[in-house]
Structure 1
Amino acid sequence: MSVDPKGPVLIEGPVEMVLEDGTVARSDRFMVAVCTCRRSRTYPWCDTSHRRRERAAQPPENQPPENRTP
């Protein structure tokens, strides 16, 4: 098992988990990423929703328009 403080818990598979509501989630993969942030749309499996989304930097306002990147 591997724990990333900013990401999922990685567990060697196959994995069977009993969720809070009693349902069972199964994965036959050789390595399973289990979500710890609860942002995943595929919870309990990680879909990388924990990653910070950053917007592209805007060009400085004092830069001439012909040198701006689209």
Structure 2
Amino acid sequence: MKLHGTMIENLRSAVASAERLRGRPVYSDTVRFWQALLDEAGRTDEAASGNDAPALAALMARLAQEIAARSAENGGK
């Protein structure tokens, strides 16, 4: 996965997009990107420095909630 900026910046952007688009239709590619970003962040989590780890974990949790909520809205699809 090719990202621009830090993992935290990318997660912040994804969370902001997901929140802004809550209740609106989103391309399936977008949701797949959010999930891929979350997966990549999980791999990065082990290597996160001490100061970044809490922020990374919080953003990952927020993005996971947004993805789950969107999945529930779409009947689990």
Normalising to structure 2: TM-score of the pair?
0.26
Higher relative contact order (CA 8 A, sep 6+): 2
* Bigger Cα Rg: 1
More strand by share: 1
Say which structure is richer in helix: 2
